[in-house]
């Protein structure tokens, strides 16, 4: 796969999905095992945090990669 052929939107979307899923997974495991929260509630909070991180990171990274 040629990384130079990606458009700035593709690169920003892939990096923001990678970061958001990492944050959501880390938060889910941390809330579940670290604080003893119900696993389903911790999963829900991890998903919400991942979606919020994606919605913030995508426009920022898209603007950064368009330069």
Residue 59 has pLDDT above 70, yes or no: yes
Given a contact cutoff of 8 angstroms between Cβ atoms, the answer to whether 31 and 62 are in contact is no
In this prediction the pTM is 0.82
Residues 6+ apart with CB under 8 A from 46: 24, 25, 27, 28, 31
Confidence of residue 1 (pLDDT cuts 50, 70, 90): low
Task: Report whether pLDDT(56) > 90.
Answer: yes
| pLDDT for residue 2 is more than 90 | no
Query: Please, which pLDDT band fits residue 55 given cuts at 50, 70 and 90?
Result: very high
What is the rounded average pLDDT of the residues 28-47? 90
């Amino acid at each position: 796969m040629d990384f130079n052929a990606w458009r700035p939107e593709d690169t920003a979307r892939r990096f923001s999905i990678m970061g958001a899923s990492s944050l959501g997974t880390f938060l889910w495991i941390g809330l579940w095992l670290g604080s003893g929260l119900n696993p389903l509630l911790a999963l829900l909070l991890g998903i919400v945090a991942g979606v919020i991180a994606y919605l913030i990171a995508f426009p920022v990274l898209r603007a950064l990669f368009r330069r």
